[in-house]
Amino acid sequence: MREPPPATKAPISEREFLDALPAVNTSCTTLAVLWVLRNEPLDMRPLGHYPEELFTEEAPRRLIEAFQRRLA
């Protein structure tokens, strides 16, 4: 807000109301930031979930399975 809140319950003019609102670019920036923060990333995956077969050796696979069991 660009103006302090009213001190009384007296009616205000439309101009006073519009002067109190934040600037359009401030509102747009705030909405853009909130939109980014509320959306989950498209490439998000749960901790310990590896859909690709990146680890083929036995030792890493055992460690991953133990890690997944601890998470469960």
Q: How do residues 13-72 score in pLDDT, each as one tens digit?
A: 899 888 888 899 999 999 999 998 888 777 778 888 888 888 889 999 999 999 999 998
- Which residue blocks in the chain are alpha helix, DSSP H? 14-20, 24-38, 58-71
In a shared domain, residues 29 and 8: yes
In a shared domain, residues 32 and 9: yes
Number of domains comprising the chain: 2
Residue 3: pLDDT band (50, 70, 90) is confident
> Nearest-CA neighbor of 21 among 9, 34, 30?
30
> What is the span of the domain harbouring residue 52?
46-71
Question: Residue 64 in contact with residue 55, Cβ under 8 Å?
Answer: yes
In a shared domain, residues 30 and 60: no
Provide the b/e sequence for 6-29 (b: ≥16 CB within 10 Å): eeeeeeeeeeeeeeeeeeeeeeee
